[in-house]
Amino acid sequence: MARRLFPGAPQPFIDLSTGINPYPYPLPPIPAGVFARLPEAEGQARLAESAARTYGAPSAAHVVPAPGTQILLALVATLVPAGKAAILAPTYSEHARAAGLAGHRVTETADIEQLRRADLAVITNPNNPDGRVIAKDRLLALAQDLKKRDGLLVLDEAFMDVCPPEASLAGEIDRGNIVVLRSFGKFFGLAGLRLGFALAAPRLAAMLNASLGPWAVSGPAIAIGERALADSAWMDATRNRLADAAQKLDRLLAEANIEVVGGTSLFRLAQVNRAAETFKRLGHAGIVVRAFSEQPTWLRFGLPNDQDWSCLRSRLETARSNPP
Amino acid sequence: MARRLFPGAPQPFIDLSTGINPYPYPLPPIPAGVFARLPEAEGQARLAESAARTYGAPSAAHVVPAPGTQILLALVATLVPAGKAAILAPTYSEHARAAGLAGHRVTETADIEQLRRADLAVITNPNNPDGRVIAKDRLLALAQDLKKRDGLLVLDEAFMDVCPPEASLAGEIDRGNIVVLRSFGKFFGLAGLRLGFALAAPRLAAMLNASLGPWAVSGPAIAIGERALADSAWMDATRNRLADAAQKLDRLLAEANIEVVGGTSLFRLAQVNRAAETFKRLGHAGIVVRAFSEQPTWLRFGLPNDQDWSCLRSRLETARSNPP
């Protein structure tokens, strides 16, 4: 794709277009039987235990293991009858698509107050791509209001792993009609594995588990997920490593006259005069980033691999001095 | 589970409780990047091409790759508005559950004529567990009738890989509202990988793909699936090997006075006087099979691993001579 857009660019491209940790959890050896046999219920139960502990959900009965959170978006939107969906925007565009698929009339709004009157309210927290974090008490107040009207609050915490644990609503899901979505692949750098979780009160979790049916998660995802989610030393070290890398990236971007205005440790949001033009300059220099069709001044930068830092610095320099 | 039921049995158990090929497709080395990176659309497109060719679907646009067919059951049931679902029974029980979940009134019937008046008609072909195969012209006539009334015919061809290719309806899916489900894990012996397909006219396939969203299938499943589905030499050899193994199993069961009355090369259906009693005799001897709560004379036997044949023979002898 990048090769077609920028045929003359140096290769391989430095791909900063995702928000996935480029320093993945080290893969344990996976016995062949894990691929061969139907995943056993016991393994999925242990994975749910591990996820409940790590994410701070009240119990394993609050956990819905899934083959990625993406597949959960449409399912979660069907937990309430088709009505009015309000999505705090701008944010990850798949939320609006999934809500529409479930038959909701979809509003995207920048005003959180507009979410109070929805049947389905969706907030990405921290938000993608600007990293905006909404405080827990505001979220709980919103959840209370929604609950009175049988509305549902969906919190996409796909990038919450790099925030202080107390920012998550996972521990409060019994206090309202709340579904928290957690992505495994982003923070653990294993997006190809397809693993994600919904966290919700047991009644809602049971509905989601029933929709997914048995064997929703692959044997390798269970084996790796169970182990990785219990590895708090790796998780702590990774949070530090990502924070350092994000700072380093900010410095490099500043040197290239690109101003960072938000983000999380997994991606940085830059504000530029004309994003489409900078996107092209970067592409011709061999750097792929994320542009947003409805945000003409935004570019999102993911973190580079360890071996790409010096190359990234020189390519940013090339991009800055080249004509567009 | 078996250990709890039969605490005194010899171990490890010989597990014949599934219909999964015990001689799995040899795992190719999987590069770490396949686990790390989000699966690329190009890979999923190549997988769909491979599946279309192998299963005989008209094109890749007719293919919906999914993380196992199980997750497709509930989605397929939502392709028609909630109404009357008729399932040719007895068969795999998850079809009734999935149709109910989608809001259908569910009838299970042994009479295929009853399926003509359904909104959603479901046939497992060849059937699990009796192996009954319904001829293509009858299926097409049913599909024609259903189409006139906007009904949908779902054909679960989970075990079709071991039948002559012309028995599949995959090549005829444009002739009616037909969805064919194909399982990857059973024939290829990689059930833990979670890979399956729906085959349908592009309009229906697009609806299913939209519900699943992007990145539905894991990187490892794409890498292994693409390769395995193109390996016709392995597939041919495996069909022969499974047919031989099924014959050998029938002989062993006959020696043990257990009569095989149906099945496919991936599992054998036996008829006994009291299935519950024989299930226990087998369990105490270290053999786990599948019993059916509503079929008091049926037991299903999967195929053993290569190294288990002689042990299976002696345990069957033990089971026969032991008191229940």
Instruction: For residue B27, give the chain A residue with the closest CA.
Output: A32
Interface membership of A110 toward B (CB under 8 Å): no
Q: What pLDDT does residue A208 have?
A: 98
Interface of A with B in 2-21 (CB under 8 A): 18, 20
- Flag whether pLDDT at A1 surpasses 90: no
Contact A70 B214 (CB under 8 A): yes
Q: Are B212 and B39 in contact (CB under 8 A)?
A: no
Contact B213 A37 (CB under 8 A): no
Instruction: For residue B207, give the chain A residue with the closest CA.
Output: A101
Contact list in A for residue B307 (CB cut-off 8 A) is: none
Interface membership of B101 toward A (CB under 8 Å): yes
Query: What are the start-end ranges of the E strands in A52-125?
Result: 63-66, 84-88, 105-109, 120-124
Q: Are B20 and B191 in contact (CB under 8 A)?
A: yes
Phi, psi of A269 (to 5 degrees): -100, 125
Distance CA B315, CA B324 (A): 14
Contact list in A for residue B220 (CB cut-off 8 A) is: 35, 192-193, 218, 220
Reference B15, options B259, B282, B248; nearest CA is B282
Which residues sit opposite B84 in a β-bridge?
A: B105
Reference A114, options A79, A83, A146; nearest CA is A146
Interface membership of B29 toward A (CB under 8 Å): no
Provide the whole-model pTM. 0.96
What are the pLDDT tens digits along chain B (324 aa)? 788 899 999 999 999 999 999 999 999 999 999 999 999 999 999 999 999 999 999 999 999 999 999 999 999 999 999 999 999 999 999 999 999 999 999 999 999 999 999 999 999 999 999 999 999 999 999 999 999 999 999 999 999 999 999 999 999 999 989 999 999 999 999 999 999 999 999 999 999 999 999 999 999 999 999 999 999 999 999 999 999 999 999 999 999 999 999 999 999 999 999 999 999 999 999 999 999 999 999 999 999 999 999 999 999 999 998 766
Q: What pLDDT does residue B2 have?
A: 86
Interface test with A, best of B4, B23, B79, B194 (most A CBs within 10 A): B194
Contact A101 B210 (CB under 8 A): yes
Contact B192 A39 (CB under 8 A): yes
Q: What residues contact residue A92 under an 8 Å CB cut-off, 6+ apart?
A: A124, A128, A156, A158
pLDDT in tens, A207-244: 999 999 999 999 999 999 999 999 999 999 999 999 99
pLDDT in tens, A74-90: 999 999 999 999 999 99
| Residue A112 DSSP label | G
Contact B36 A214 (CB under 8 A): no
SS3 content of chain A, % helix, strand, coil (to 5): 45, 20, 35
Helix (H) or strand (E) holding A267: strand A267-271
How close B99 gets to chain A, by Cα (Å)? 11
* Rg value, chain B, Cα: 20
Instruction: For residue B20, give the chain A residue with the closest CA.
Output: A37
ipTM for the predicted complex comes to 0.95
User: How would residue A275 be classed by pLDDT, with cut points 50, 70 and 90?
Assistant: very high
Q: Are A286 and A10 in contact (CB under 8 A)?
A: yes
Q: Amino acid identity of A164?
A: P
| Residue A134 DSSP label | -
Which residues sit opposite A287 in a β-bridge?
A: A14
Interface membership of A193 toward B (CB under 8 Å): yes
| Residue A304 DSSP label | P
How close A322 gets to chain B, by Cα (Å)? 30
Q: Which two tokens stand for residue A102?
A: 């479930």
Distance of CA A92 to the CA centre of its chain: 9
Interface membership of A219 toward B (CB under 8 Å): yes
Number of residues that this document lists for chain B:
324
Interface test with B, best of A27, A38, A195 (most B CBs within 10 A): A38
Contact list in B for residue A24 (CB cut-off 8 A) is: 32, 35-36
Contact B37 A20 (CB under 8 A): yes
- Flag whether pLDDT at A59 surpasses 70: yes
Query: What is the SS3 assignment for A132?
Result: coil
Distance of CA A53 to the CA centre of its chain: 19
Distance CA A181, CA A200 (A): 9
Q: Are B253 and B270 in contact (CB under 8 A)?
A: yes
Contact list in B for residue A47 (CB cut-off 8 A) is: none
Q: Which two tokens stand for residue B56?
A: 């005989």
Q: Of the candidates A20, A73, A213, which has its C-beta nearest B71's C-beta?
A: A213
Interface of B with A in 259-298 (CB under 8 A): none
Phi, psi of A194 (to 5 degrees): 60, 90
Strands B152-156 vs A267-271: parallel, antiparallel or unpaired: unpaired
Contact list in A for residue B189 (CB cut-off 8 A) is: 36
Distance CA B279, CA B201 (A): 43
Query: What is the SS3 assignment for A113?
Result: helix
Q: Are B186 and B19 in contact (CB under 8 A)?
A: yes
Interface of B with A in 194-213 (CB under 8 A): 194, 210-213
SS3 letters across chain B: CHHHHCCCCCCCCEECCCCCCCCCCCCCCCCHHHHHCCCCHHHHHHHHHHHHHHHCCCCHHHEEEECCCHHHHHHHCCCCCCCEEEEECCCCCHHHHHHHHCCCEEEEECCHHHHHHCCEEEEECCCCCCCCCCCHHHHHHHHHHHHHCCCEEEEECCCHHHCCHHHCCHHHHHHCCEEEEEECHHHHCCHHHCCEEEEECHHHHHHHHHHHCCCCCCHHHHHHHHHHHCCHHHHHHHHHHHHHHHHHHHHHHHHCCCEEEEEECCEEEEECCCHHHHHHHHHHCCEECEEECCEEEEEEEECCCHHHHHHHHHHHHHHHHCCC
Residue with tokens 């009160």: A201
Interface membership of A27 toward B (CB under 8 Å): yes
- Flag whether pLDDT at A324 surpasses 70: no
Q: Of the candidates A33, A39, A71, which has its C-beta nearest B213's C-beta?
A: A71
Q: Which two tokens stand for residue A153?
A: 């609050």
Find the distance separating the first CA and the last CA of chain A, reported in whole Å: 19
Which residues sit opposite B86 in a β-bridge?
A: B107, B121
Distance CA B94, CA B90 (A): 11
- Crossing angle for the helix pair B309-321 and B232-255, nearest 10 degrees? 30
